[in-house]
Structure 1
Amino acid sequence: MADAPPPYSASGAPSTSNGYAKQPSAAGLSSHLPSTNIPQQPSPNTASPPLPVFPQQFGIYHASGSNTDMRISLSQESPTMFYISTHGAFSSQPSVILHCGPHERTSPMATAELHSFSGTVDIMLLNQRLKLEREAPFSSVNSFVYPVPQSDGQTLRERFEWKSSSGPEVQSLQGSSRGMKCVRVRSGEVVAAWARPNSGHAKKGKMRFLLNEGGMGDDRGRFEIAVVISMLSIMEKARRSNKNSRGATAGGFGGGGAGGGGC
């Protein structure tokens, strides 16, 4: 998979000399998000983040020093932009925390709590609560409802669906031929795509925003966070499911050792 993404110009973000958009640092987000260490049950701040938050395209990688944590970077060799910590079912922390900076000590932008039996995910995004739900018990489609600001100052609650895809949006990421796309149900617009890596352990996926220029207006930064935390939740659900399946197989057939892979 080609790690280097194309220049980020779709949103009009300022560019650096290498053609990439200049990304917000933890210090740059400090006026919008709390700067203290994560409390036992972190609650994201209510202020809106800068616009936009993420580059148009980025990779999600395994974070060194952890079995399950991840990081967001432009490429595998690039510095960490945002850290993603994950926590088990018996932890007092949310299942997934998207941090505003490059390490776990930075404050949360969003959190997600996974519910194994129902398959739903409770997302806390700044001052908003969202719910990611499967369309049916065994469906691969996961959807959330997001309040989209309107020109008259009102909001319209719209549904967005993450669904499996091998279409051109996924193919353009040059990863695995299968991935997922996030679709705005009302219009059919594909707002983001995610592809699995071709191989290797370090890379967990590649993601690209496909919103039209000016899409979501001043709320774009907040919406980007919603899209990313929902995808991270789907990834974590899949990781846990795979771990449980391996464990059940090993236990059921008396296989050698535990079947979870030490996660």
Structure 2
Amino acid sequence: MSKAVYQDASPPPYTESTQPSHEGVPPYEAPSFGENADGSKTIQSSTKFPPVLNGYFQWKLTRTFHLGPSAEERLFAVTTHANLMSSKPLIELHDGSTNEHPIMATVHADKWGRTRPATITLPARAGSPHVGSIEEQLVPGSSKSSMSASSTWAFEIDAKDKSSSRERFEWRSSHGKEIKDLATGVSHGWKLVWVSGPGSGVGGSRKKRVAGYSSDGLEIVAIIAHNASFSITKGFRFAFMGAGLTGTLGEVWEIATLSSALMLWYIDAQQTAAASAVAASA
């Protein structure tokens, strides 16, 4: 795998508070939108992660933050790197609550951020469901200009059943109902649709289609929503949906999905921080 360089940017500005970190944080709860098109409830049994994860940040600036269902239960650490001269990955997802725990996945993205393919790597580790390293490409969709950020990112991955063909998924920028339901007061994020999935034929306008499906009738299997402000308590909220909640897509898919969502959130956060800095200096 070729090494990439990254645009030098500081992490998002975190707002320090005198309140304990658990103040105002909702309790651990499964998403309320695990309902199928026929009205039946999805059985929630995700393989590796809880159905909902929040991003929690430290009291001081650091390149490591944590994921967990609540502020008191921070289960996984994430380390970020964004330096022009560094060959380190943009995202490192750890299998544990510190950056000393084994790495579950890395995401390498070049300095153009959201206009060139990124690489998701799942290294072999003790207890992993795969033998050897797995490497997949996260490919941005076309944009109006070569310098514009893409509003879609797609990746393919082997299905849990090895006799099945590879499955294709696509992250889409979204302001839809699923994003708003996941994080109150937030209207922007990303939804992951199962492009090669069975589909449903229940697409259409937001007012007409069934919750949990895209306008073209594809099932939404994961979402990530931005916090309205990059505060010390929560920077984002992530959730599995539909088939993503059942465990049928497997642990490898869950890790690739979460790590790619983290990349999209982090690049958005960097761009928001940069825009705020420009506005402040104007």
After TM superposition, is the score higher than 0.5? yes
Once the two structures are superposed, residues 160-186 of structure 1 have per-residue CA deviations (whole angstroms, 9 ceiling, x without a partner) of 111122323222213302222110112
The answer as to whether partners of 2:29 and 2:69 remain within 8 angstroms in 1 is no
Query: Which residue, 144, 148, 164 being the options, matches 2:159?
Result: 148
TM-score, length-scaled by structure 1: 0.70
What is the CA deviation profile of residues 100-136 of structure 1, one whole-angstrom value per residue up to 9, with x for unaligned ones? 0111111100001111234321110242111112101
Structure 2 match to 1:195: 225
* Relative contact order higher in (CA < 8 Å, ≥ 6 apart): 2
Q: Does 1:88 align with 2:112?
A: no
Q: Which runs of 5+ in 2 are unaligned?
A: 1-23, 35-41, 124-132, 200-217
- Aligned pairs for 1:200-219 (under 5 A) are 200-202=230-232, 203-212=234-243, 215=246, 217=248
Query: Is 1:125 aligned to 2:122, yes or no?
Result: yes
Q: Where does residue 104 of structure 2 map in the other structure?
A: 109
**Distance 1:159-1:83 versus aligned 2 partners, 3 A rule:** same
Aligned position for 1:235: 265
Q: Please name the residue that 2:54 is paired with.
A: 59
Cα separation, 2, equivalents of 1:235 and 1:12: 25
**CA–CA distance in structure 1, aligned partners of residues 168 and 178 of structure 2:** 20
1:149–1:216: 8 Å Cα contact kept in structure 2? no
Q: Which residue of 1 aligns with 2:141?
A: 135
Of 155, 172, 176, the residue aligned with 1:167 is 176
Superposed CA RMSD: 2.9
Residues of 1 paired with 2:255 and 2:177: CA distance? 23
3-state SS of paired residue (1:172):
helix
CA distance in 1, matches of 2:244, 2:91: 29
How big is each residue's C-alpha offset from its partner over 1:33-56, in whole Å with a ceiling of 9 and x where there is no partner?
Answer: xxxxxxxxxxxxxxxxxx611101
Distance in structure 2 (CA, Å) of the matches to 1:214 and 1:57: 10
Please give the TM-score of this superposition, normalised by the length of structure 2. Answer: 0.65
How many residues align? The count is 211
Decide whether aligned partners of structure 1 residues 101 and 65 sit closer, same or farther in structure 2, where only a CA change above 3 A counts: farther
Q: Which amino acid aligns with 2:108?
A: E
Aligned residue identity for 2:139: E
> Could you tell me how far apart the structure 2 residues matched to 1:119 and 1:149 are?
28
Alignment of 1:221-260 (within 5 A): 221-245=251-275, 249=278, 255=281
Residue identity (%): 24
- After superposition, the Cα gap between the structure-2 partners of 1:110 and 1:64, relative to the gap in structure 1 and judged at 3 Å, is farther
Shift in Å, 1:12:
5.7
Q: Kindly indicate which of the two structures has a greater share of residues assigned to strand.
A: 1
Superposition deviation, residue 214 in structure 1: 7.6
Cα displacement (A) at 1:244: 4.5
| Distance change in 2, residues 1:12/1:201 (3 Å) | closer
CA contact (8 A) 1:196 1:205 kept: yes
